[in-house]
Amino acid sequence: ETTGLEPSAGDEIIQIGAMRIVAGKLRREDSFEQLVNPERSIPPVGIAIHGIEPAMVKNAPTIDTVLPAFHAYAQDTVLVAHNAAFDMRFLQLKEEASGVRFTHPVLDTLFLAAVIQPDLPSTGLEGIAERFGVPVLGRHTALGDAIMTGEIFLKMAKDGSTVSGLMDTLATMTSIALQYGVPLRDLVSKFTHVRFEPSGFTGNPEVPIAKSTVDYIFRWMGSRFLSKEDRDALGILGGVVVAEAP
């Protein structure tokens, strides 16, 4: 949890929560949960969402103490997060203050869901949880959101056919590429128009025709996540993809 949505403008981490996944199961007895003193005010609009008040963090350790502890907890693991770019930006900006760098591979359930269930009406954590049958409990607490994200990830991992396995792999590769700074625009530009079977009409009004599964995935991601300028340049206009017949 954070004081706001703009880490580059001075927003700070106020709570970190995580839980380990081992052998396909959440280990609820092996979790990390810590309030953080942000050394700044917490806006009332944020308190209304996460419920963390100034008095609760007044005597909590600061981020230069908490991040090394979390880094040790997460050592030699793959991080799973929802909208991971948001979380990772906060961590990156605290590298100098904390003396630790998070170079872990990162899997993003937002992008995994977009690939596995491209017709999702919402890519928010609650919307994805509902689609995968995961109870929405402890929302907007760091540990509660971590548990929900972990449950969603495990549900995704069990969606086993060959096609879903390939899509899951592609989503993982895309998530890692984004983590290491490859612009989404470059990925969309590279992988749209890739042609192989199956191809044809999709039943999705946002991407009515696709030349392949890969073409479909990256057209859909472009329509949802790229800026209007980038969509225009790539022929993805107004969130509705303009596709040629396969």
Q: Among candidates 50, 29, 25, which has minimal Cα distance to 38?
A: 50
37-78 tens-digit pLDDT: 999 999 999 999 999 999 999 999 999 999 999 999 999 888
Which among 79, 67, 86, 83 has a CA at the least distance from the CA of 4? 86
Query: With the C-alpha atoms ordered 180, 186, 192, 197, is the resulting torsion angle positive or negative?
Result: negative
Helix (H), strand (E) at residue 21 = strand 15-22
CB burial readout 76-85, b (16+ within 10 A) else e? eeebbbbebe
pLDDT surpasses 60 at 237: no
H or E element: which one contains 110?
A: helix 109-116
How far apart, in whole angstroms, are the C-alpha atoms of residue 38 and residue 40? 5
pLDDT tens digits for 87-144? 999 999 999 999 999 988 888 888 888 777 777 777 889 999 998 899 998 888 999 9
Active-site residue, 71 included: no
What digits encode the pLDDT tens for the residues 171-203? 778 888 888 888 989 999 998 888 866 666 665
Of these residues, 50, 71, 104, 140, which one is catalytic?
140
If you average pLDDT over every residue of the chain, what do you get?
85
Please name the residues in contact with 83: beta carbons below 8 A apart, sequence gap of 6 or more.
Answer: 108, 110
* pLDDT for the residue 117: 75
Per-residue confidence (pLDDT) for residue 244, from 0 to 100: 37
3-state SS, residue 233? helix
- Taking the chain, what is the end-to-end CA distance rounded to the nearest angstrom? 45
Whether residue 160 has pLDDT greater than 60: no
**Selected residue with higher pLDDT from 17 and 239:** 17
Name the helix (H) or strand (E) containing 85. Answer: helix 84-93
